[in-house]
């Protein structure tokens, strides 16, 4: 049989079994435990959703196509290299030379005959340009379908 002492201790024939904890310490330990548990749950949620978004970005939004990357690298290498190749023109094989892009740009820049004329040199002035005409293909065309050239 046990008896309660003045200090809230249970005494048995074997001695003191346990002591009731103080209310303030119990609340403090409980509050700290809840805060640590909440912080752990929030941290794990943030890590999970960041990892999930990273995986979606890698696998769905920006997938890496190995075949396309390989093709692109081969094409860029062809643009940087020189050599000859054959092309069928009207059933006859024609051998052509390939030069690097940088060399082709320099050749075009040095040859004024290969450069494009300026925009002002291309377009004739409006006063000297002939009036556009509308071709009539059907003699039964309605007057609304045929517009006058200029007034």
Distance CA 27, CA 18 (A): 19
Q: What is the DSSP string of 44-70?
A: HHHHHHHHHHHHHIIIIIS---HHHHH
What sign results for the dihedral spanned by CA atoms 120, 123, 129, 132?
A: negative
pLDDT one digit per residue (tens) for the chain, 151 residues: 555 555 656 666 666 666 667 788 889 999 999 999 999 999 999 999 999 999 888 888 777 788 888 999 999 998 888 888 889 999 899 998 888 888 888 888 888 887 777 766 666 555 555 555 555 554 444 444 444 444 4
């Amino acid at each position: 049989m046990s008896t309660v002492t003045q200090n809230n201790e249970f005494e048995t024939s074997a001695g003191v079994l346990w002591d009731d904890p103080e209310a303030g310490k119990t609340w403090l330990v409980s509050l700290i435990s809840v805060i640590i548990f909440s912080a752990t749950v929030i941290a794990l949620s943030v890590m999970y959703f960041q990892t999930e978004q990273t995986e979606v970005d890698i696998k769905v939004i920006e997938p890496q196509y190995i075949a396309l990357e390989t093709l692109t690298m081969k094409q860029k290498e062809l643009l940087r290299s020189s050599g000859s190749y054959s092309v069928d023109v009207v059933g006859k094989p024609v051998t052509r030379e390939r030069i690097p892009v940088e060399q082709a740009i320099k050749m075009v820049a040095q040859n004024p005959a290969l450069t494009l004329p300026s925009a002002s040199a291309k377009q004739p002035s409006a006063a000297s340009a002939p009036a556009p005409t509308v071709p009539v293909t059907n003699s039964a065309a309605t007057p609304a379908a045929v517009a006058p050239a200029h007034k």
